[in-house]
Amino acid sequence: MEAKKIKEADNQSVKPQEKTHSGCVGIIQPVQDALYVLSGKWKLPIIISLTFGNKRFGEMSKEIPKITDRMLSKELRELEMNQLVKRTVYDSIPVVVEYSLTDYGKTLNPAIEELYKWGKAHRQRIMGKG
Amino acid sequence: MEAKKIKEADNQSVKPQEKTHSGCVGIIQPVQDALYVLSGKWKLPIIISLTFGNKRFGEMSKEIPKITDRMLSKELRELEMNQLVKRTVYDSIPVVVEYSLTDYGKTLNPAIEELYKWGKAHRQRIMGKG
DNA sequence: AAACAAACTATAACAAAGTATAGTACTATA
DNA sequence: TATAGTACTATACTTTGTTATAGTTTGTTT
């Protein structure tokens, strides 16, 4: 499988000659690239689940609150295409499929960590010091 | 204006008694909280634009590639509700409206920074060492 | 008075994302 | 033969997100 390309539409914008205004376009684009790969409700939950150890389909299905099998399957395939997740089939009987994070997938850790910290603080702020 | 509540649906899950599996649910939820606030294609671009200085509607509209006025207006309102962005009306003539990040909005900086770094590396990986 | 700018807002249409439900293929066990 | 486990996939549908287009208000310039 081949890595999904970065959206064409994100390619537009800013030839080097153009004014970069305050330089913010150079920041926006990579952030949008990241969001594109992580888009949707479930990719980060799946990745997080796998940072806690390799998992089988059924385990993840139980472990990630509210995810449906369809979404799990769909998102795992996308993550695989982007080389963040690896799928290993053991030809035991019955067949067992194990998912794991690739080394590349693990490079998302610092970003996830920051989102986690912010999200935690945000929840506390909103729920009132809970 | 009042801060938008965290989605009810995100409240479900895990009573303290329940098995936390490998503890990953405790990470997933805050990350989903963060994603909820930052959801959509435009909130981070808008926030990034404002980290480079206070801006007026028209400036942001030009500076953020491809955003429509409708989305800019809608997303600014949401960010304002979440206290990430402040809207200041100067009663000059003609009236001028300035948007800025709140201190709280600025706390997103580390997360954005990590997403930026990852997105930049990802683009290089995919575009081929560009 | 006519045209224009800033900062939006309304309406409708369309696209993407997500959910619900059911079903498949394989094998094992009762 | 019937039931069950594992790992999905198909279909249809609903919801949410985004875009396109046009219009509003207040005031300015010509």
> At A35, which CATH number?
1.10.10.10
Average pLDDT over residues A48-72: 95
pLDDT number for residue B93? 72
Segment A12-27, tens digit of pLDDT: 333 333 344 458 989 9
Q: For residue B13, which residues of chain A lie inside 8 Å, CB to CB?
A: 65-66
Place of tokens 């799928």: A87
- Find, in chain B, the residue whose alpha carbon is nearest to that of A23: B52
The DSSP code for A3 is P
Q: Is residue B89 part of a domain?
A: yes
Q: Is residue A13 part of a domain?
A: no
Q: Is residue B8 part of a domain?
A: no
Q: What secondary structure, in 3-state letters, does B38-100 show?
A: CCCCCHHHHHHHHHCCCEEHHHHHHHCCCCCHHHHHHHHHHHHHCCCEEEEEECCCCCEEEEE
pLDDT number for residue B127? 86
- Find, in chain A, the residue whose alpha carbon is nearest to that of B45: A28
What number of residues does chain B have? Answer: 130
Question: Residue B44 above 70 pLDDT?
Answer: yes
| Count of structural domains, chain B | 1
Question: Residue A125 above 50 pLDDT?
Answer: yes
Show which positions of strand D are touched by protein (CB under 7 A): 5-11, 17-22, 26-28
pLDDT number for residue A94? 80
Question: Strand, helix or coil at A96?
Answer: strand
Residue A30's beta-bridge partner residues?
A: none
Q: Is residue B3 part of a domain?
A: no
Name the residue with the least CA to C1' distance from nucleotide C5: B94
Q: Is residue B109 part of a domain?
A: yes
Give A89 CA → D16 C1' in Å.
36
First-to-last alpha carbon distance for chain B, in angstroms, is 45
Give A22 CA → C2 C1' in Å.
37
Domain that holds residue A103: 22-127
